[in-house]
Amino acid sequence: MSLLAPSDFLPQEDFLKQRHTILDNVKIIKKARRIPLGPDITFYFENKETILWQIQEMLRIEKGGHEQIQDEIDAYDALVPQKGEHEYKHISCTMMIEENEVMRRKVLLQELSNIENSISLHVGDVIIQAQNIQDGIERTNSQGKTSAIHFLKFIFENSTIDIFKNPQSCVKLISNHPRYSYTHLLSEDQKNALLKDLNSIQ
């Protein structure tokens, strides 16, 4: 069942009137959900508000109208925090390998082959391995070059959420890739933002 519906989106005329106000709010939401890991990778954790904004902007730019809305919902609904198998909750993110210099970027994407399999979220002593949202779609090609953009999810059992809620628990985002080994300790603001998204799941 889709968590987004066409009725969630403003008509273009109304969106344009409210766009700057909405953008100011989305910037606040995104700030605590933007998590850098090392010098070249950033994770953008998503929730319903960030996905609504992204789709609404695409509608504004591409002018696809009502027919485009359902296509975008089908493409992005999986990034909204939700329940999955066994009623376990999961939150999702866009992982971006960010390098503007063309040759350096080409080398980096080759070096980080299968990076998506090396990402995990550590909640206390519990390790949650990142999973590819797009099942069956390989993000690293047969030549070993990875994509600059990955869509990942982290699945939480209820007991892990209880650990997450403990203010004393450390939450770390980790890459153990042989060419890219980094750890980021989440700040209180980052922890609270992700916990808010977990708590929003019905």
CB-CB contact of 92 with 81 (8 Å): yes
Q: Quick check: is 3 in a domain?
A: no
Residue 154 has pLDDT above 60, yes or no: yes
pLDDT above 70 covers a percentage of the chain that reads: 97
Q: Encode burial over 73-92: b for 16+ CB neighbours within 10 A, e otherwise.
A: beebbbbbbbeeeeeebbbb
Q: Quick check: is 180 in a domain?
A: yes
Q: Tell me how many domains the chain contains.
A: 1
Q: Quick check: is 20 in a domain?
A: no
Question: For residue 113, what are the domain limits?
Answer: 34-46+79-199
> What is the rounded CA–CA span in Å between residue 118 and residue 197?
24
Q: Quick check: is 26 in a domain?
A: no
* 44-88 pLDDT per residue, tens: 999 999 999 999 999 999 987 778 899 999 989 999 999 987 789
Q: Quick check: is 72 in a domain?
A: no
Q: Quick check: is 161 in a domain?
A: yes
Q: Quick check: is 105 in a domain?
A: yes
Q: Quick check: is 64 in a domain?
A: no
Residue 97 has pLDDT above 90, yes or no: yes
